[in-house]
Chains A and B, each alone.
Chain A
């Protein structure tokens, strides 16, 4: 038990250090002037796009459903947060966290209300119905008075700083990661792998599906709040179907069910249009071609279902007795690692309670 506790502490400490190091490096780079003001500012969209991608990955990648209305939740969160900061007249340090959390909660309520009926459907139908809800949210926002209608909501104060955005991103990634490493996370994964089998094993599938959907909507709402206080203007036409698709593309390109994939893809796809600014006429053509090419040659996304783990990386490269783990996929190091192990490569059930068995790569027969 003591050993177990120290293991946990070590891991949290390690990851906290890593996050602090990343933050330190970013700040240092900005302070040293390697990035100019404009480039440093571009890191904020990277942060909220990571939140969006990671939250969508929760319902699309881990739960295995395909929601196409993520921008709807984002807009609900964004508008709620913006209206709160416009109404309250408090210092940013007080009103902004309130607004962000409120935005997240209202989006979560929408997620729950939409998810409850929508999740009765499966596969393509779920995609269509969430698409429908997303469009309805957009049309309603366009037609309501207090949201500024089609002209958009302007005059929002610029509260989103890089530090706030970074903090929110870390919290989101941490929350989703711990959720997925918990008992609930394994239940969610089992629903993705085979819903009927999961139900037969006594997992309340409706409960978990709705819960995942709600959490996913919550973080999308927070990202919406960051977005609103970064651009200082909200335009309902920015939250259309295309925005939902953009987020989905990040998730799929990175690999469904891979956290590091979502993060990398969100990072790359946010910056790619900026890098291609010199060829601005061609950049969207390049972007779409890239998407098609990646899908044709690597349909499971850049990272597949692989997930990065710092502690695993460290222990694998050093002694490897602390978190020794058998990887089910036939990646290069597995062969050596398995030599001494009694477990056959196919039975990837890990005895370690902290590490859930990694799901096998989808073989194409999977429900959407």
Chain B
């Protein structure tokens, strides 16, 4: 394993983290909630794709599209049923609800699919050569798709009307409402968007790790969340940079130190960054008003 290969692997897993982190960061930006259920939406996406391909013999592309739709709807339903009634109550109640939903999704999945891991076939097998470097098609596709999605998302948030609404709601919920923005549908849209990204991340993740189980989302989600915080939660470029930093750090730890310490290093980086710059790389400092 050369250094360059390690870096490439890091970018690959990092781009998956970044996709998931975008979902966390958008939701946090808009309703200030650490959406613990986000990691489990990845799990749902993975199971749906697996089920459609392995059991219903659908084509890969149909399966991926259906998975994205299912996750989008699921994300919106969760927001409507569980988070919306609590929007005005203490934030800790909202957080506990999110944890509850996360538990619920995991356990329902366990009930339906049992705890046994399922095998997922890599959709992009084979390798390709770039000079002296051999890259698996999977790595190339993951990085490419993620970059395209990130560019697309940035354009969506910066250039479109709904993107403007999202930015306005995250800036100030009440004022946005006064300006005639439909806050409820904007929040719904944000959840749907984040969940759709999570579904795509799920497919990419499963192609490289090929195993799915009901609790796969929790650690993946946690690390993606760390990536979001590292970049400055609420900031889109922050989530992307954070994802890559976490991915590369993890890959280098696995390559040169010990794979068992990878999680500790990830959290260690988080703690150091938070202590030096509590708002992350790109986060805005919010002054507390008295």
Contacts and interface: CB of A to CB of B under 8 A. Distances in A.
B226 interface: yes
Interface string A251-282: 01100100000000000000000000000011
Contacts of A53: none
Interface in B87-112: 88-97, 99-101, 103-104, 107-108, 110-111
Contacts of B264: 135-136, 139-140, 143
Contacts of A355: none
Contacts of B104: 285, 288-289, 292
Nearest to B88: A364
B86 A299 contact: yes
B261 interface: yes
Nearest to B229: A128
B43 to A, nearest CB: 14
Interface in B77-133: 82, 85-86, 88-97, 99-101, 103-104, 107-108, 110-111
Interface stretch (A39-47, A82-90, A118-126, A312-320): A118-126
B222 A295 contact: no
Interface string A138-154: 01101100000010000
A362 interface: yes
A66 B95 CA distance: 11
Interface in A299-338: 299-300
Given A288-B104, A292-B82, A299-B86, A368 B91 contact: yes
Interface residues of B, number: 45
A288 B100 contact: yes
B275 interface: yes
B265 to A, nearest CB: 9
B260 A142 contact: yes
B96 A136 contact: no
A23 interface: no
A366 interface: yes
B16 to A, nearest CB: 20
Contacts of A121: 274, 278
Contacts of A252: 92-93, 96
Nearest to B289: A196
A22 B101 CA distance: 36
Nearest to B105: A288
A285 B111 contact: yes
Contacts of B290: 196
Contact of B261 (A66, A139, A291, A300): A139
Nearest to A137: B264
Interface in B222-238: 222, 225-226, 229, 233
Interface residues of A, number: 48
A98 interface: no
B19 interface: no
Interface in A70-127: 117, 120-121, 123-125, 127
Nearest to A135: B267
A245 interface: yes
Nearest to A293: B100
Given A142-B260, A143-B260, A287 B92 contact: no
A248 B111 contact: no
A281 B89 contact: no
A357 interface: no
A299 B263 contact: no
B86 A125 contact: no
A128 B290 CA distance: 25
Nearest to B107: A284
Contacts of A136: 264, 267-268, 271
Contacts of B93: 252, 295, 299-300
Given A121-B278, A196-B288, A288-B107, A364 B89 contact: yes
A297 to B, nearest CB: 8
Contacts of B263: 135, 139
Interface in B6-50: 28, 32, 34
Contacts of B1: none
B92 A132 contact: no
A272 to B, nearest CB: 13
Nearest to B114: A281
Contact of A284 (B88, B99, B103, B260): B103
A145 B260 CA distance: 13
Nearest to A291: B100
A208 interface: no
Nearest to B278: A121
A245 B99 contact: yes
Contact of A282 (B32, B101, B111): B111
A295 B28 CA distance: 19
A292 B103 CA distance: 10
B103 A287 contact: yes
A129 B271 contact: yes
A362 B88 CA distance: 11
A281 B103 CA distance: 14
Given A123-B91, A252-B93, A292-B100, 11 more contacts: A125-B278, A131-B222, A132-B267, A136-B264, A139-B263, A143-B260, A252-B96, A287-B107, A288-B103, A289-B100, A295-B100
14 contacts: A124-B32, A124-B233, A131-B267, A135-B267, A140-B264, A143-B264, A245-B99, A249-B100, A252-B96, A287-B103, A291-B97, A291-B99, A295-B100, A296-B97
Closest 8 CB pairs of A and B: A288-B103, A299-B93, A291-B100, A139-B264, A132-B267, A299-B89, A288-B104, A292-B100
